[in-house]
Chain A
Amino acid sequence: MKNFWDNFLTKEQGLNTIRLFQLAFLGWLFFHSVAMLPYGDQIWGPNGYPLVDFNFTDIRALGTLLSFPQITPFYQWFVGAHLICIVLAMFSVLPRTMYLLLFLLTINLNTRALGTTSGGTTLSELLLLYMIFVNTTGKELKSSQLKTALHNLFFWIMRLQIVFIYASAILSKTQHALWMEGLATYYIFQSGQSSQPWAGPIAVSYPIIPIFGNYLTIAFQFLFPLLVWVKKFKPYIILVGMVLHLMMSFVMGLFFFGILMSLVYILFYEESFSKSILEFPKKLFRGNIIANG
Chain B
Amino acid sequence: MKSKIILPGTLIIFLAWLGPSIGLGRWNFYTDKVSFLTNKLWIRCMDDQKNWSSWMDPFDHLQKSYFSTIANGKGKLIGTYLGLYEILLDEYKALVKECEKSGSCDPMEKVLTTVEHGKVKKLVSDICLSKYQKSEQIQFKLMTFWPKKYSERKLDKRWGRVQEISFPPELVTKNSALTSKEK
A residues engaging B (CB < 8 A)? 5, 9, 35-39, 41-43, 45, 47-49, 51, 53, 113-120, 122-123, 145-146, 149-150, 153, 157, 161, 164-165, 168-169, 171-172, 178, 183-184, 186-188, 190-194, 196-197, 200, 204, 207, 249-250, 252-257
Which residues from chain B contact A178 at a C-beta distance below 8 Å?
Answer: 36
Q: List 6 A-B contacts (CB under 8 A).
A: A38-B73, A42-B182, A113-B76, A164-B21, A190-B148, A257-B32
A115-B83, A146-B6, A250-B70 given as contacts; is B76 within 8 A of A35 (CB)? yes
Number of residue pairs across A and B with beta carbons under 8 Å? 169
Asked if residues A35 and B66 are in contact (CB atoms below 8 Å), the reply is: no
Flag the segment in B9-17, B102-110, B161-169 that touches A: B9-17
Question: CA of A123 to CA of B75 in the docked complex: distance in angstroms?
Answer: 19
Given contacts A38-B73, A146-B6, contact A191 B14 (CB under 8 A): no
Instruction: Give A219 to B49 CA distance when docked, in angstroms.
Output: 60
Report the nearest A residue to B159, measured CB to CB.
A190
Do B30 and A119 touch (CB < 8 A)? yes
Query: Quick one: which of A161, A197, A253 contacts B70, CB cutoff 8 A?
Result: A253
Main secondary structure of the interface of A (DSSP, over half): helix
Of B10, B63, B76, B145, the contact of A116 (CB 8 Å cutoff): B76
Stretch among B93-101, B131-139, B171-179 lining the A interface:
B171-179
Please state if A168 and B64 are interface contacts (CB–CB under 8 Å): no
| A113 closest partner in B (C-beta) | B80
In the assembled complex, which residues on chain A have CB atoms less than 8 Å from the CB atom of B77? 36, 39, 42-43, 116
B55 at the interface (CB under 8 A from A): no
Question: Interface range on chain B: under 10, 10 to 19, 20 to 34, or 35 or more?
Answer: 35 or more
Residue B28 lies at the interface, judged by CB distance under 8 Å to chain A: yes
Separation of A9 and B6 alpha carbons in the complex (Å): 8
Whether A145 pairs with B31 at a CB distance below 8 angstroms is no
Nearest CB in chain B: distance from A230 CB, A: 23
Chain A residues near B153: list those with CB within 8 A: 204, 207
Given the known A-B contacts A192-B38, A193-B38, are A119 and B81 also in contact in the complex, defined by CB atoms under 8 Å?
no
A49 touches B122 (CB 8 A): yes
Q: A42-B182, A187-B147 are in contact. Are A116 and B3 (CB under 8 A)?
A: no
- Quick one: given A51-B87, A116-B80, A255-B75, are A194 and B34 in contact (CB under 8 Å)? yes
